[in-house]
Structure 1
Amino acid sequence: MITSTFRGLPGIGPSRERELWAKGIRSWNEVPRSGVLLSPRLDDGLRRGIDELQALFEEGDVRGLARRISPAEHWRLWPWALGRTCFLDIETDGFTDVVTSVAVHGEDGPRAFVRGVSMNGLGEMLEGYDVVVTFNGASFDLPVLRRAFPGLPIPPVHVDLRSVFKRLGEQGGLKKIEARLGLTRPGEVEGVDGYEAVRLWHRWDDDRDLGALCTLVEYNLYDAIQLRPLFDIGYNRLVEQTGLPIEPVRIYERGDVLYDVSKILGELRSRF
């Protein structure tokens, strides 16, 4: 989808982008090097801008391309930026900005970072990504992380799936949207929600209930893991709305990471 993006180039907004698509110009390489498309003034800026975007694309410069398009359209970087994208979710103690658990799902699978147990390495992992995907992260996860860990290298490009699905007419929280889309979780965490996650943390923090901690971490991991198929579905729906002949992406399946989750929980139990 990113190579079909003209919005953000000089003088090109949503309506002119649609005009270009309607003229059969559906990607950068379909823009003719001569002739009038929109107007002589706009065409000159369009062609120069496409040359710049193409260079960034060929260099794999995700951050550079993201700076050239509206944040509301950063979803278009998917799936080109797959290898530079992570999915993130956090849990807190429910009272303050104390972060109890952070789950990050990236190209090499999921990882869990737990307060007082395994928080080291979070910054190093995040530093390797250009794009972070969350659900409601603009209001919660990212501001809380910045306050809790000043200087944490959070990826600069952010896609908030709450905004993506609101744009698609889907209201409600993550769990409600998952249910409507038919996305399920393992039975161990199927009924866990944010309020229960707070209680699980305090059962660990106050009573050293290892089972509660493992359930919390598993729940947090699946909060991050489920963002991947959610993004796939949202991307496919938004692409469909454009009417462009772009192949839908395969919907990620949580079965792809069952071993990874089991390994993380096993390593957590072995610490105590």
Structure 2
Amino acid sequence: MDIKERIERLKREITEHQKRDRSRTVEKLRILLREETCSKKRIKNIDELAEHLEAKVFENKFGKFIVRDELKNSEFYGEEVDKLHILAKEEIFKNFDLSRNIFVDIETSGLSGGVGTFAFLIGVGYLEKNVFKIKQFFLPDLPYEKALLFDLSSLLKGFDSVTTFNGKSFDLPLLTSRYRLQMLKEPLFDLHLDLLHIARRVYKRSFEDRSLQSLEQNILGEQRRGDIAGNLIPDVYFNFLRTGEVSLLGKVIKHNEMDIFSMLKLLSHFVELLKKIEEIKNPEVLYSISRLHREFKDYNTSILLMKRALRYTDNIPLIFEIKRDLSIIYKRQSMWEEAEKLWIELLQETPFEPFPYIELAKFYEHRLQDSNKARGIINILKEKLGAGWQHCTYDDLVKREMRLNRKMEPNEDYT
């Protein structure tokens, strides 16, 4: 089979896969529509639509749109966010003020972004008089996008920072492009806190799925009931535009509302995590946070957290990662005795990992000035790796052996 045939076959496979995915999505939508048969309703009038959504119609010089308000009780008012910069990995977040922050989440006409994708529902949330206020801007028809964005910008410009979930990659770039296409000035913020990035840093080793709903279940202990799948939302909106069918719009509105409120609770969780760091017994989380402290050169805290993480795990790959990073800190701090102890332990625990051998060889050669001992360590590693030792990903292995040989046998030419 030549390359052209292979390309054509691949194209056919991709097309078939897309058709299967589309058919599954349509089938899910049909099931949901059947569930809503009893309450099926078609609305074209914007005032009736607003009433159906328990919202209000607003109008400006560019047209009409719908806004829905919801109030949520919150026990988190932004206290003790002074360490948030550690999770955000940016010193500037020392200036983060929750009272000057707005949460943003959007529902769009497509999940892939691009110029043709637009936001038909933009939800925002912010603290006001000790309650969490959620406002949802809904686009009743495409010609009114400019009207919606114009009023939204008036609200957004009153805040210094924005918090999103994957908003750096999706929500804000998409909104920026829509503002520019509508020839409006896009909203600008001094700070943008993306909670997905923090979740990846903290729970990278704890679980693979770090979607917002997964975090709700695994971290907040909450399970959504009767929620609509995110991949169905664009179809629900386009079905509404074509037919006026509003049976599932309520689920879309509720989905967006839950996303916004979950962001506040997730932020609260992260702040509490740093506040009660001494109570954490999850080794993956302790290790992840220790690495963040290391980024800010807070080596004492990083060492403390790594040592605690080691007490709570017997997972060899994780132990290797922790001891590797801990030994590097010891090395940077010239704590050679502690570093050597860890490297020797790793020889026993992970005998086929080149790292401890290379570090010990460096230590013996440069710190102890013992080339024989350094070459002995390299030879042990070569025996462990077998005939393929020269293909070791540690290029330093070959170079180090050559240098040690030159030191030991200075009269022989190794060039």
TM-score of the aligned structures, taking structure 2 as reference length? 0.39
Relative to structure 1, the CA distance from residue 205 to residue 161 in structure 2 (aligned partners, 3 Å threshold; closer, same or farther) is: same
1:143 counterpart = 2:176: no
Residues 85-142 of structure 1 show CA distances to partners (whole Å, capped at 9, x for unaligned) of: 1111011111632111100011230000112368252111111111110011110000
Relative to structure 1, the CA distance from residue 130 to residue 207 in structure 2 (aligned partners, 3 Å threshold; closer, same or farther) is: same
In structure 2, distance between residues paired with 1:75 and 1:234: 14
In structure 1, distance between residues paired with 2:151 and 2:223: 27
Structure 1 position 200, deviation (Å): 1.9
In structure 2, distance between residues paired with 1:183 and 1:202: 33
Residues 16-47 of structure 1 show CA distances to partners (whole Å, capped at 9, x for unaligned) of: xxxxxxxxxxxxxxxxxxxxxxxxxxxxxxxx
* Residue number among 191, 209, 216 corresponding to 2:252 in the alignment: 216
TM-score of the aligned structures, taking structure 1 as reference length? 0.57
Quick check: 2:81–2:271 contact (8 Å CA) kept in 1?
Answer: no
Relative to structure 1, the CA distance from residue 174 to residue 76 in structure 2 (aligned partners, 3 Å threshold; closer, same or farther) is: farther
Structure 1 position 188, deviation (Å): 3.7
In structure 2, distance between residues paired with 1:4 and 1:134: 19
Q: Secondary structure, in 3 states, of the residue corresponding to 2:203?
A: coil
Structure 1 position 184, deviation (Å): 2.9
In structure 2, distance between residues paired with 1:188 and 1:73: 40
In structure 1, distance between residues paired with 2:83 and 2:254: 38
Report what 1:128 is aligned to. 158
Report what 1:233 is aligned to. 269
Structure 1 position 165, deviation (Å): 1.1
Report what 1:102 is aligned to. 122
Quick check: 2:236–2:249 contact (8 Å CA) kept in 1?
Answer: yes
Q: Which runs of 4+ in 1 moved over 4 A?
A: 1-5, 73-78
Residues 42-83 of structure 1 show CA distances to partners (whole Å, capped at 9, x for unaligned) of: xxxxxxxxxxxxxxxxxxxxxxxxxxxx863555445xx121
Relative to structure 1, the CA distance from residue 148 to residue 132 in structure 2 (aligned partners, 3 Å threshold; closer, same or farther) is: same
Alignment of 1:46-61 (within 5 A): none
- How many residue pairs were aligned? 178
Quick check: 2:220–2:266 contact (8 Å CA) kept in 1?
Answer: no
In structure 2, distance between residues paired with 1:201 and 1:116: 10
Q: Give me the identity figure in percent.
A: 22
Structure 1 gap segments, 5+ residues each: 8-13, 15-69, 244-272
Higher gyration radius (CA) = 2
Q: Structure 2: which amino acid aligns with 1:157?
A: L
Quick check: 2:217–2:223 contact (8 Å CA) kept in 1?
Answer: no
Q: Secondary structure, in 3 states, of the residue corresponding to 2:159?
A: coil
Relative to structure 1, the CA distance from residue 196 to residue 72 in structure 2 (aligned partners, 3 Å threshold; closer, same or farther) is: farther
1:93 counterpart = 2:109: yes
In structure 1, distance between residues paired with 2:223 and 2:83: 35
Q: Structure 2: which amino acid aligns with 1:160?
A: D
* Residue number among 205, 225, 228 corresponding to 1:187 in the alignment: 225
In structure 1, distance between residues paired with 2:135 and 2:200: 28
